[in-house]
Chain A
Amino acid sequence: MRDFFFYGLCAVLLGLAGVTVLSRNLFRSALGLLGVLLCTAVLFLLLQAEMVALVQVMVYIGGIMIFVLYAVLLTSELGGRMASPSPLKIGLAVVVAAVALGMLAGLAKKAGGSADRVRAESPAGSVAAGANIASMKSMGERLLDPRGFLVPFELISVLLLAAMVGAIAVAREAAVVPGAGAGEGGGGKAASAPGQGRPA
C-alpha cells in the first residue's frame, strides 16, 4: 500500500516536473513547479522527515514560490506563450539530460543497492524501530548545540542577511544616482533608469 502510494506520488511528481519544463505558458509552468514542491513535501512525510516537509511547505511554497509568481506576473503577460526552443537545443538538452540521468542512476544503483542490502540483511527491529527517524526535538537540540550545528546555523543567518541586502541593491532602481529622477515603482515603468546594471 505504502509502496503503491510512493510510486503514484513519483509519477505525479515527474509529470508535474515535465509540465514545469515543457509548458509554453510561464504561469502554468510555475504552477507545475508548485505541484512538484508539494509532492516533494509529501514524499518527505513519507520518509518520516516531518521537519523538512514543514520547512519545504513554509519556505519553498510559502516564500520562494510566491516570490517566483510575483516575478512572473511582473515581467510577462499571463496568456503569453513562450517561443519553443530550437531543435538543435532540444537535441543538446536531451543528450545532457540522458547523460545526467545515466550518471545519477548508475550512482544510485551503486550507493542505494549496497545500503538496501545491508538493511535487508540486518535483523528486523534493530534499525526499523525509529532508530533512523529524526524527531523535531532532537533536531532542535542538535541545531542549537555548540558542538552540533550552531555555527552553520548562525552563518546561514548571515548569508541570508547578505543575500537580502544584495537583492535589494541589485533590484532597486537607480535612485542612488542623483538626479536620475526614477521614482519608486514597479519594474515596468522604470525602463529609463540609466545607471542600472551593466552597460551593454
Chain B
Amino acid sequence: MNLTSCLMLSAALFAIGAYGLVTRRNMIAALMSLELMVNAALINFVAFARFGGGHAAAPDPEAGSLFALFAVAVTAAEMALALAIVIAVHRQRRHLDIRDLDGMHG
C-alpha cells in the first residue's frame, strides 16, 4: 500500500464515475456518478496527506485531512442544491431524463 496504488484506485474510481456521468439518463443516477468522482478526489487528498507528495521531509498531514473535510462540506452543499433542483424538475416535468433538459441548446 503506497501512494501510487492509492492514486491508481482513485483514477479508476474517477473513470467509472465519468462513465456513469456520461451514460446515465436519470438525473439522480448521474448525480451518484458525480459522487463517485468526488470520492476519488477525496481519496487523493487523504492519500497525499498520508504519504506526502514529493516532499516527504516536510509533511503537513493536518492540512491534507482538513482539505478533505472542506471538500466534504462543499459536496454536501452541492448535493443539497442538486437534489433540490431534482425535486423541482420532477415536480414540473414528471420525469428526470437529462436528455430532455436541453434548454441550453444553441
CB–CB under 8 A between A and B in the complex?
Answer: yes
- In the assembled complex, the Cα of A193 lies from the Cα of B70 at a distance in Å of 36
A36 near B22 with CB under 8 A, answer: no
For residues 70 through 100 of chain B, which have their beta carbon under 8 Å from a beta carbon of chain A? Answer: 70, 72-81, 83-92, 94, 96
A26: B residues at CB distance < 8 A: 26, 28-29
For residues 177 through 200 of chain A, which have their beta carbon under 8 Å from a beta carbon of chain B? Answer: 187, 190-191, 193, 196-198, 200
B75 near A64 with CB under 8 A, answer: yes
* Given known A-B contacts A59-B76, A75-B28, A196 and B2 have beta carbons under 8 A apart: no
A176 contacts chain B at the CB level, 8 A cutoff: no
- In the assembled complex, the Cα of A146 lies from the Cα of B46 at a distance in Å of 23
A21 contacts chain B at the CB level, 8 A cutoff: yes
- In the assembled complex, the Cα of A131 lies from the Cα of B84 at a distance in Å of 43
B residues at A contact (CB < 8 Å) = 1-20, 22-26, 28-29, 31-33, 35-36, 39, 42-43, 46-47, 49-54, 56-57, 59, 61-66, 68-70, 72-81, 83-92, 94, 96, 103
**14 A-B pairs in the complex with CB atoms less than 8 angstroms apart:** A13-B9, A13-B13, A18-B16, A52-B69, A55-B68, A60-B72, A89-B22, A90-B23, A101-B14, A104-B15, A118-B54, A149-B66, A167-B83, A196-B91
- Given contacts A47-B49, A68-B79, list 15 more A-B pairs with CB under 8 A: A2-B1, A14-B13, A17-B13, A21-B19, A49-B49, A74-B90, A75-B87, A94-B19, A104-B15, A108-B7, A112-B2, A112-B5, A138-B62, A168-B84, A187-B87
